Amino acid sequence: MAEAAPTTAMRTLGRLSNAAYRPREYLTEGEVEKLIDTARKRGRNGARDAAAILLAYRHGLRAQELCQLRWSQVDLRHGRLHVNRAKGGQESVHPLCGPELRALRPLQGSSPYVFTTEAGTPVTTAWFLRMVQRTGVAAKMPFAVHPHMLRHSTGYKLANDGHDTRSLAHYLGHRNLQSTARYTALAPDRFAGFWRD
């Protein structure tokens, strides 16, 4: 008789829920700025690391999307970023603002990739994970930080700023509005005006 396939509980034995490791899955705007400032001051690649965190946050990029970002997707002259989404997400064109343009210009080199190692090869998702984790420790963040928190931070920031769910879904490349609803659920103004005293 064939053995049954292992259950999810059996495969993840020893792994606790995310709540056991950190109180939330996103960073506030101030925490992201602290992370960027710390990255800028760390080591000889501080400008690259700070730019990577900034772009991941401002554009809701997944680690894979950031590491595969090519200069052909960046239009510094007109301030545009063509975002190719992973996981079957919708592609879109985002505006690049002053801080992003200033962070990207010094990174231009001979590689077709925006973020490269000192050897000129594209960075990897493992590099991005380690860099964000180490920067979080150096920034003395009160909990462990990981790259996907930057994407969640984008969603919560934009939802809290009052952007509608459909626009937010398109910005993050979500094909399903259910994926985006989590960000609007915590928006503090959502219940404003329920009670008039």
Determine whether 157 is an active site residue.
no
Contact status, residue 48 vs residue 171, Cβ threshold 8 Å: no
> 3-state DSSP call for residue 74?
strand
CA-to-CA distance for 146 and 166, rounded, in angstroms? 26
Active-site residue, from 26, 113, 156, 183: 183
Determine whether 113 is an active site residue.
no
Determine whether 182 is an active site residue.
no
Active-site residue, from 48, 58, 151, 152: 151
Query: What pLDDT score does 161 carry?
Result: 87
Sheet arrangement for strand 80-83: 74-75, 80-83, 92-95
Determine whether 82 is an active site residue.
no
Q: Identify any residues that bridge with 82 across adjacent strands, giving them in sequence order.
A: 93
Rounded to 10 degrees, the C-alpha dihedral 101/104/105/111 comes to: -150
In whole angstroms, how far apart are CA 145 and each of 53, 110, 137? 12, 32, 8
In this structure, whether the domain defined by 23-175 belongs to CATH 1.10.443.10 is answered with: yes
Domain chopping of the chain, boundaries: 23-175
Task: Please report, in tens digits, the pLDDT of each residue of the chain (197 residues total).
Answer: 455 555 555 555 677 666 666 668 889 999 999 999 999 999 899 999 999 999 999 999 999 999 999 999 999 999 999 999 988 888 999 999 999 999 999 999 899 999 999 999 999 999 999 999 999 999 999 999 999 999 999 999 988 888 888 888 889 988 877 777 777 766 666 656 666 66
User: Which has the closest alpha carbon to 145: 156, 160, 129?
Assistant: 129
Active-site residue, from 148, 163, 170, 182: 148
Active-site residue, from 41, 70, 80, 87: 87
pLDDT digits (tens, 9 = 90+) for 90-119: 899 999 999 999 999 999 989 999 999 999
Active-site residue, from 48, 58, 62, 85: 62
Determine whether 94 is an active site residue.
no
At residue 7, φ and ψ (nearest 5 deg) are -80, 165
Determine whether 183 is an active site residue.
yes
Query: What pLDDT score does 11 carry?
Result: 55
User: Which has the closest alpha carbon to 83: 108, 104, 110, 56?
Assistant: 56
Alpha helices by DSSP H, listed for 22-117, are: 29-41, 46-59, 63-67, 98-104
